[in-house]
Amino acid sequence: ITPGELLCLGSSLAFSGLFYYLYRKKARVVAQIQEAPKLHVNDDLPALVSATDARCLPYVALEGIVLPAKAALTSHYHEGLQGVIQKLLLKEHRLIWNSLARSW
């Protein structure tokens, strides 16, 4: 076995271990999302949220009737399927100038 073959084998094992770790991490998140409790939109929902530790629920599925503010969004791919955007949250990350790469 040459040193080049050992290097290839070692890097292959390292990458396989890294990708397996990332796969397992994402699989846990998917399992949490699939096991999310289903809650109905009603008057009890604000009290339930305020009773939690951080005043938020990590993963929940909300069920209920939502009315659009202007017009409902229609799907281009499925006829008769409509949806609404209830709240849009935009989070901007702070940009720092990297003088070495000359980019933000």
Q: pLDDT tens-digit profile of 22-72?
A: 999 999 989 988 888 888 888 888 888 888 888 777 778 888 877 787 888
Tokens of 32: 């949490």
Give the residue extent of every domain in the chain: 3-83
DSSP secondary structure string for all residues of 6-44: HHHHHHHHHHHHHHHHHHHHHHHHHHHHHTPPEEE-STT
3-class SS of residue 99: coil
Which pTM was predicted?
Answer: 0.47
Cα–Cα dist 25/98, whole Å: 31
SS3 helix, strand, coil % of the chain, rounded to 5? Answer: 35, 10, 50
The answer to whether 37 and 61 are in contact (CB under 8 A) is yes
Structure tokens at 69: 């503010």
pLDDT value at residue 86: 65
pLDDT value of position 90: 62
